[in-house]
Amino acid sequence: MDLFIKILFIVIFFVATIFIGFYCRKRATTSSDFVLGGRSVGPWLSAFAYGTSYFSAVVFIGYAGSFGWAFGVSALWIGIGNAVIGSWLAWALLGRKTRILTQHLNSSTMPDFFAKRYKSQGLRILASFIIFIFLVPYTAALYNGLSYLFDVTFSSSVPYWVWILIISVATGAYVIIGGLMSTAINSFIQGIIMLVGISLVVIFALRLNGGFMPSFEKLSAHGWEYTSLFGPDPIHLLFVVLLTSLGCWGLPQMVGKFYSIKNENQIRKGSVISTLFAIVVAGGCYFLGGFGRIFADTKSATIIPEMVSRLNVVIVAIVIVLVLAASMSTLSGLVHTSAATVTFDLFDLNKKMKEKDKMIFLRSFVVVFIVISALLALFQNYGPKKYTQDIASLMGISWGAISGSFIGPFFYGLYWKKTTKASVAASFISGIVLAIVCLVLSLVLADSSYRDNVKLVYKGYLLFDLADSIYMGVLAMVISFIIVPVVSKFTKAPEGVDEMFKCYDQKVVVTSDVALTDNILKEEKENIINTPDVDVEEVEKTPNTENV
């Protein structure tokens, strides 16, 4: 009976997601609609798409369990950082300017933005390869998280490869059929499931130990530091907060959500919604993970699944759907981003491809990326050597390489006219090199007595670790922010940037830098015209806008 209930919830979830794909198929008839949704995605859909791409099975199972065990209740700071830095501040600093400049440049992907902003096809190609290659470890981490959950909740009664096949087919189906709008609507529904699911898990899991205060007392028995404000290792905690929060500023599947924002009002609403979403989902995950030591005897990525397995079967079924929703929403964002990048930035470099051919390539590469990621996930689970099994390491490598390459060039590209092509290339190279160095060291020194030689320790605190993807990922981002202005000072800026940045000054009653708007209401324009000392001709030339 328990197995039937779990399967029933899963079937209902999959049917709903595929139905939405068919429902949105009429809004994905062109490549622009498929990738950007006509730049008309509403605030709730945009915010939930951002949040569900942000948080997946990696956070719920891998990060929450691993870091909850390491830091105790202070792991909650990670969730707070994700909400404040990764959500609210990202929307505040990147949302408006990204929307204005990408529309002005007619840019639909991050490599396309680099190519047009810095006038370099070479940057487009290099950025495309970075995205396509380094998003794969992220996807492998996502599938690994699912494998831990299924092993515990289904007791291996259903083979892992079956789940990989089902998830891959279902995700591919609704992305291929409905494009961005299908992904956005599914992300909204999946986000609601995540909000409800994590709330139920936190409440019922703590009740297993008598509630919050009894759970807190039991945790303190493992050491007072696990109930302290900053935990047993505050420096390591800071690096985790920075990687998981600041890192999303340079991830194409995250900032790409800003491309399709409709107007200024949606930015304000979207920033609030995504921040609250992060507080509940990320905060709930890390808060629950902080009590991992009272549920398990040893550190393991299965801590959260083991908590869940002790709950009522209906709650377990909801959590399974929660993790599926989180994983599929992230997977859809990854494959959508990768397919668009390869199609527009590698195969259509000269922008001469016919619309019909673009749609064929987009849908084909959705399939290609899903197949590659599924095969890697199967290799990770069944292969003779499981090279990088730690979920935190897999995600750290991915985020470190991509965000370490892109975060500086993208941020300065929005704000600073003097950013040069050479500085962008330098950032790309430094991000890739640091990621590769970290990966090689972690593999070579995994079981070596020389492992401690790449660590910097002071008074018992680990200040830095060259073989740890968390530390190296943050280092890559810091270097990106530094190397771009330094190299730009000594290299020539591309021409025509002043003209490019005039899009921020376009008059829409207020400048575009202050508000994204489209049409002035007739009565408001008439009121302006009737105001003394107003140049009527200039007002008549002003683009119409709805939000004055």
Is the pLDDT score of 406 beyond 90?
yes
pTM here is 0.81
Closest CA to 515 of 525, 505, 523, 524: 505
Question: DSSP letters along 155-190, please?
Answer: TTSS-HHHHHHHHHHHHHHHHHHHHHHHHHHHHHHH
Average pLDDT over every residue of 509-526: 54
Question: How buried is 43 (Cβ within 10 angstroms: 0-12 exposed, 13-18 middle, 19+ buried)?
Answer: buried
What are the C-alpha distances in Å from 476 to residues 243, 280, 419, 466? 10, 29, 18, 11
**Residue indicated by tokens 């619309």:** 355
In 208-233, alpha helices (H): 212-220
Backbone angles phi, psi at 261, to 5 degrees: -65, 140
> Quick one: average pLDDT of 26-55?
66
Amino acid 75: pLDDT: 93
Q: Which of 116, 64, 411 minimizes the C-alpha distance to 247?
A: 411
User: What is the C-alpha R_g of the chain?
Assistant: 24
| pLDDT greater than 50 at residue 437 | yes
Closest CA to 151 of 288, 1, 282, 323: 323
Find the Cα–Cα–Cα–Cα dihedral 347, 353, 359, 363, rounded to 10°.
-10
- Are 209 and 215 in contact by the 8 Å Cβ rule? The answer is yes
Token digits of residue 200? 């139920």
* Separation between Cα atoms, residue 517 and residue 262, nearest integer Å: 8
Element (H, E) at 23: helix 2-23
Residues of each domain in the chain carrying CATH 1.20.1730.10: 2-379
Cite the beta strand spans of 241-299 per DSSP E.
Answer: none
**Greater model confidence, 39 or 322:** 322
Residue 226 clears pLDDT 70, i.e. is over it = yes
| CA dist., res. 214 & res. 200, Å (int) | 18
pLDDT confidence band for 548 (50 / 70 / 90): very low
| % of the chain with per-residue pLDDT over 90 | 22
Residue 155 pLDDT: 62
The pLDDT of residue 442: 82
CATH of domain 2-379: 1.20.1730.10
Residue-level pLDDT at 539: 46
pLDDT of residue 170: 76
* 466 neighbors 441 (Cβ within 8 angstroms): yes
Res 31 pLDDT > 70: no
Q: Please, are residues 88 and 52 in contact by the beta-carbon 8 Å criterion? A: no
Neighbours of 355 (CB within 10 A): 11
Residue 45 clears pLDDT 80, i.e. is over it = no
Question: What pLDDT band is residue 197 in, cutting at 50, 70 and 90?
Answer: confident
**What are the beta bridge partners of residue 261?**
41
Dist. CA 79–CA 535, nearest whole Å: 51
Q: What are phi and psi of 495, to 5 degrees?
A: -80, 160
Q: pLDDT band for position 455 (50/70/90)?
A: confident
pLDDT digits (tens, 9 = 90+) for 290-305: 888 888 776 655 677 7
Give the C-alpha separation, 246 to 403, whole Å: 9
According to DSSP, the residues that pair with 182 across neighbouring strands are: none
pLDDT score, position 278: 92
How many other C-beta atoms lie within 10 A of the C-beta of residue 206?
20
Question: Which of 250, 247, 243 is closest to 110 using CA atoms?
Answer: 250
50-99 pLDDT tens trace: 887 788 767 777 778 788 888 999 999 999 999 999 999 999 999 889 98
Mean pLDDT of 219-228: 90
Q: Which tops the pLDDT comparison, 458 or 394?
A: 458
> Which range in 9-18, 284-293, 342-351 is most confidently predicted, on average pLDDT?
284-293
pLDDT bucket at 111, cuts 50 / 70 / 90: confident
Distances (CA, A) of 103 to 36, 96, 435: 11, 11, 32
Distance, CA of 73 to CA of 60 (rounded, Å): 15
Q: What is the Cα–Cα distance from 284 to 281, expressed in whole angstroms?
A: 5
Calculate mean pLDDT across residues 468-490: 94
Q: What is the reported pLDDT for 388?
A: 46
CA distance 48 to 189: 9
Q: Quick one: pLDDT at residue 411?
A: 97
pLDDT at 208 over 70: yes
Question: What is the average pLDDT across 490-497?
Answer: 86
Q: In this model, does residue 403 exceed pLDDT 70?
A: yes
pLDDT exceeds 80 at position 49? no
> Where on the phi/psi map is residue 132: left (φ > 0), alpha (ψ -120 to 50), or beta?
alpha
Please name the amino acid found at residue 304: I
Q: Of the spans 104-108, 151-155, 471-475, which averages the highest pLDDT?
A: 471-475
Do residues 119 and 493 make contact, with C-beta atoms less than 8 angstroms apart? no
For the chain, what is the mean pLDDT? 79
State the pLDDT at residue 237: 94
Q: Which of 336-350, 374-388, 491-505 has the highest mean pLDDT?
A: 491-505
With beta carbons less than 8 A apart as the criterion, state whether 525 and 242 touch.
no
